[in-house]
A and B are shown apart, each in its own frame.
Chain A
Amino acid sequence: MTRWLPKVYLGLVYLLLYVPIGVLVVFSFNDSRSGYTWGGLSLRWYGSLFNNNAMVEAMWNSLWLALSAATVSTIIGALTALALHRYRFRGKKVLNGMLFVVMMSPEIVLAISLLALFLLVGIQLGYVSLLLAHVTFCLPFVVITVMARLSGFDESLPEAARDLGASDFTMTRTVLIPVIMPALLAGWLLGFTLSLDDVVVSTFVSGPSYEILPLRIYSMVRVGLKPEVNALGTLLLVFSLVMLMLSQWILTRSKR
């Protein structure tokens, strides 16, 4: 009995994890209009999804926003991490701690304060406000990911490059960035996923001019669950799987 017990336990855990996802995927191919009965295999919901212009536009908006937010926060975050790692200055510990404050603080607090700030400064709610907000909450994750990589970084590598005739800039380009590349990619992917599925902050700082996917889905679900959502969910799932595999591939390649 003790031999099969762990297996059953593990099976149960994975069942609980994957049943909802499995149901979603299966029902995305359901021909029936009702969400509860099986009406045979069909791709009709995928079709109607791509005919839904508002939905497709929201998807592109979301992807573009996630792409730009991840990129901007990776650039700023990597430079911040380098500064925190490389230089000794007053208040370094405080700055370090403040990263965690942003990470740990409830999203709703960040959302309200960002909204208040944008209204105060007079930034129109739309792409720009969303980008600024997303960069804000992605940034600490990028900084911490890059700092973790830098803490294991051999300090004599930049020195070796300088010793062999590289300027500070060339050294950064040819040694520092390639060596911390896995962390940059990991930080970027983290930012990308955080941005893509954010609802709370986005709800507050988005405007009618720029609708993004999570908010679109949220408003669709409120008027009743359409099977289109299942198809969309399945597509997003496939997309994140591809991203995950891509990042794993890059990581293992960089180790070699």
Chain B
Amino acid sequence: MKKTLLSLSNLTKQFDGKTVLDSLNLDIYDGEFITLLGPSGCGKTTLLRLMAGFEHPDAGAITLSGDDLTGTPPEHRPLNTVFQHYALFPHMSVFDNVAYGLKMEKRPKEEIRERVGEALAMVQLQDYMRRKPHQLSGGQQQRVAIARAVVKRPRLLLLDEPLSALDYKLRRTMQVELKRLQRELGITFVFVTHDQEEALSMSDRVVVLKDGVVQQLGTPREVYERPANLFTARFVGETNFFPGEVESIHDGSITVDVFGLKRTLRRPDFPVQQGQPLHVLLRPEDIRVLDPADEQGVAGKIVERNYKGSTLDSVIHLEDGTEVLASEFFDEDDPAFDYRLGEPVKVSWVDGWEWLLPEEADEPVHEDALTDA
């Protein structure tokens, strides 16, 4: 059993009458890398600010290893924050920025020098101590911000979209570096992002948030492969939604009608009845594009093809107008593998690779298989 470090219970926060967090419960385990993922305005930053102490909840409690933190001001919380735009003190050198937290603790000079040196060495910036923040690149400033936050050896590190201002390549490097730091330091990381790819690749667990409510809490694999609802399925990765209808129910399986195909699929966790409409979810990489002469599959034609280097991504229009995204790996045996636009194909998948979700009451009107990355 994992030990809970930070526990949020029934946290509620309103701004000007608008509910940003709605009695949210979350337990963060000691030593884990947990990501708060959601679109802008979902409450993830507010949640982080509540943990840091910059905002106060209207209701609910925050406890750290059993101690109530709810009324504690930020300066007395044993956790530190890496800010979105780094928030380095512009009038201080890199050394003084990193030393700031230790000076506040009134540590002896010798210890401060040693620990700042260590923290900067950890982010490979030991040669930049005398520089001012504006003399550093974005990536270096980011690393100073991280060193400044971890030098106090916090129980918990809060990171508010720390990589959003960096370019793609640097972002990938920093992702790896952050993971390494987290492993080496053994500090619990709470990471906020709207980038689902980042969330999946870095986290031990992902919290998907929407309108201040947790949509799903699970490992990246669970969130990606077994989304709890349509929102998560749409927000995390790209998904094809096929409309299905339950034909018959068996012990461990059900037969579903999808575009006239009768497919026998694994029985889902939610209750099903005969004739019930449901969504059959398939990731683009689960789609098999078959020869038009193939017996199984739904007929359609290629309307777009996108060479991605390692994959060939295509958009297929089915006969009823549904758009299907497919992503296929190149085959060593067939290096010239490609599609013509307008080429007729058939679309299918391997049984068991699909994921079923029930219809939801407040579904949006546009229900095409869609991209929502």
| A contact residues vs B (CB 8 Å cutoff) | 154, 156-157, 159-167, 170, 174-175, 178-179, 181, 254, 256
Contacts and interface: CB of A to CB of B under 8 A. Distances in A.
B366 interface: no
B91 A154 contact: no
A156 B87 contact: yes
A145 B132 CA distance: 25
B142 to A, nearest CB: 14
Nearest to B101: A164
**9 cross-chain pairs, A with B, having the tightest CB-CB distances, nearest first:** A165-B104, A164-B101, A156-B87, A160-B87, A162-B74, A178-B91, A156-B83, A163-B81, A165-B75
A184 to B, nearest CB: 13
19 contacts: A156-B85, A156-B87, A157-B87, A159-B54, A159-B83, A160-B81, A160-B89, A162-B53, A163-B52, A163-B75, A163-B81, A164-B100, A164-B148, A178-B91, A179-B90, A179-B91, A181-B91, A254-B91, A256-B132
B83 A167 contact: no
Contacts of B75: 162-167
A161 B91 contact: no
Nearest to B135: A256
B194 interface: no
A165 B87 CA distance: 15
Given A154-B85, A179-B91, A170 B104 contact: yes
Contacts of A178: 89, 91
A181 B90 CA distance: 12
Contact of A164 (B90, B91, B104): B104
B105 A157 contact: no
Interface in B55-110: 73-76, 80-81, 83-85, 87-91, 100-101, 104-105
Contacts of A170: 104
A118 B180 CA distance: 70
B89 A163 contact: no
A254 B91 CA distance: 7
Secondary structure class of chain B's binding surface, majority of residues: loop
B100 A161 contact: yes
Contacts of B132: 256
B361 to A, nearest CB: 38
Interface of B: 52-54, 73-76, 80-81, 83-85, 87-91, 100-101, 104-105, 132, 148-149, 152
Contacts of A167: 75
Contacts of B148: 160, 164
Contacts of A181: 91
Given A165-B152, A174-B100, A179-B90, 10 more contacts: A154-B87, A157-B87, A159-B74, A161-B100, A164-B101, A164-B148, A166-B75, A166-B100, A166-B104, A175-B89
Nearest to B83: A156
Contacts of A175: 89
B16 to A, nearest CB: 11
A252 to B, nearest CB: 13
Given A156-B84, A157-B87, A160-B89, A165 B54 contact: no
* Max chain B Cβ within 10 angstroms of own Cβ: one of A160, A163, A178, A254: A163
B76 to A, nearest CB: 8
B277 to A, nearest CB: 48
A163 B80 CA distance: 6
Contacts of B53: 162-163
A156 B162 CA distance: 13
A156 B83 CA distance: 7
A178 B90 CA distance: 9
A155 to B, nearest CB: 9
B80 A164 contact: yes
Contacts of B101: 164-165
A157 B152 contact: no
Nearest to B88: A160
A179 B152 CA distance: 24
Nearest to B98: A164
A162 B52 CA distance: 10
A163 B100 CA distance: 11
Contacts of B80: 163-164
Contact of B152 (A154, A156, A164): A164
A91 B105 CA distance: 40
Contacts of A165: 75-76, 101, 104-105, 152
A162 B87 CA distance: 12
Contacts of A174: 100
A113 to B, nearest CB: 40
B3 to A, nearest CB: 24
